[in-house]
Each structure stands twice: as structure tokens, then as C-alpha cells.
Chain A
Amino acid sequence: GAVVSQHPSWVICKSGTSVKIECRSLDFQATTMFWYRQFPKQSLMLMATSNEGSKATYEQGVEKDKFLINHASLTLSTLTVTSAHPEDSSFYICSASWGGGGEDTGELFFGEGSRLTVL
């Protein structure tokens, strides 16, 4: 199956710094990538939808300036947590699709996730 890779898997940073997480589709071109956030013992909450070459669409309540998403190529999307604070500590996971929102093919692939801890 298709592979989506996230990097880094773990990151610890000081409060006030920015952290970039990369999501790469390794063997297919991902027209759409999704970024989720997951708190311990909770479900995945969609943060934003990222389409190659255009601005990301953020879910209600997600700060655009806080969570910068860039999808500059068909194989790479990045999430930058700017001026991170301890409450931003979470598990961030991306998924990628080559579909354009048409037929349900079941083809949606997840990265391994990135665990962010802000001290």
C-alpha cells in the first residue's frame, strides 16, 4: 500500500519556539493532505485540509496563524506550530489522498504521527 511518512516522530521544544512537522507521500502524488490533532485517550480532530498549491482550509476553532500549513508540492505538506506553548503539546498526524473528493475509494493513508511536547 501507499506510504505516508511523517518527520519528526518525536519533538521536544521550549515554549515560544516554532516547530515544523513534515508529511510526505512516498510513492504517490497527494493532491490533498489532512492534519489531525489527537490528545491522549481521545479521538482524532481534523485541524485543516491542505491542497497542493493553494491555501489550507482550517476547521472552526483552529488558529491559522498558530498552525501554519504549507502544501508546496504533491508529495510534501508541512505543519508549523508557531510560538508553541505547553497546551500545544499533542500528537499530530497527517493523512494523504490522491483523490479529489470524488468517489469513495477507501484510499486514505496516514503518517506515523508526530508527538510534540512543549516545555
Chain B
Amino acid sequence: AQKITQTQPGMFVQEKEAVTLDCTYDTSDQSYGLFWYKQPSSGEMIFLIYQGSYDEQNATEGRYSLNFQKARKSANLVISASQLGDSAMYFCAMRERGNNRLAFGKGNQVVVIP
């Protein structure tokens, strides 16, 4: 069964605008971690932000924030003030307790236009 769901089609975003990338997850564990990674065309996976299941506050890292709604099992990424360099694939991932393995969603393609 798919654990991470990212269903949005490719997105075009105007430079300086904010964009929200949806991610829902499925787990029966009480303790887990949620991640967002950026993958530019060069291929490397760039860690953006992490949210622990017990964290009461939404994670923020610079222009990235995670809208964590535990009851809905969603962990949407918000990128504020988009820049041209934000054009990339974005992957949501989950790691369950006691397991270092990451389960990835299918990704969201974001293209920032000037």
C-alpha cells in the first residue's frame, strides 16, 4: 500500500509567489518523521525540512514551512517568495519509528516562472 501520496500535477508558480505542495501519508505508528526533499535536474536530493510526529509546532526552515495536520495525516510544504532556483522536483517522505528507511511519494514538479 502506498504510504506517501503526492497527487498534484506539475505546477507553474510566479516568481515571488508562495506555493503549497500537498502530501498525505498513511501509517499506524504513533512515532514517525516526515521529510521534504528537493531534487533539481542535476539529481541530488537536497534536504529541506523535517517534522517529527510529536512536534507540536509546524517546522520552518527559512522560506520553507511544513503545514502539519496530524489528524488529517497531511504534511504540506509551503515555499514562500518563490525563486527561479526553486524549480525542481519535490519529494515528500516518511520514516517510521525504529526504521531508517524512507518511503517516498511520487513527487511534485514545480517550475517557477519570472
Any A CB within 8 A of the CB of B104? yes
The residue from A34, A42, A91, A93 contacting B100, defined by CB atoms under 8 A apart: A34
A34 and B101 within 8 A (CB): yes
Q: How far is the CA of A97 from the CA of B102 in the complex (A)?
A: 11
Query: Which residues in chain A, 98-119, are within 8 Å of chain B measured between CB atoms?
Result: 99-102, 104, 106, 108-113, 115
Please list the residues of chain A having a beta carbon within 8 angstroms of any beta carbon in chain B: 1, 32, 34, 42-46, 49, 91, 93, 95, 97, 99-102, 104, 106, 108-113, 115
B9 to chain A, nearest CB (A): 12
CA–CA, A44 and B106, complex, Å: 8
10 closest A-B pairs (Cβ-Cβ)? A106-B50, A104-B33, A110-B45, A113-B43, A112-B44, A43-B104, A43-B106, A44-B104, A101-B100, A97-B100
What residues of chain B lie closer than 8 Å to A44, measured between beta carbons?
Answer: 45, 91, 102, 104
Given A44-B91, A49-B101, A101-B100, is A106 in contact with B106 using a C-beta cutoff of 8 Å? no
Q: Does B27 reach chain A (CB closer than 8 Å)?
A: no
B73 at the interface (CB under 8 A from A): no
Question: How far apart are the CA atoms of A111 and B32 in the complex, in Å?
Answer: 23
Contact sample, A vs B, 27 pairs, CB 8 Å cutoff: A1-B47, A34-B100, A34-B102, A43-B107, A44-B45, A45-B104, A46-B102, A46-B103, A49-B100, A49-B101, A97-B100, A100-B100, A101-B98, A101-B99, A101-B100, A102-B98, A104-B53, A104-B97, A106-B33, A106-B52, A108-B102, A109-B47, A110-B45, A112-B42, A112-B43, A113-B43, A113-B45
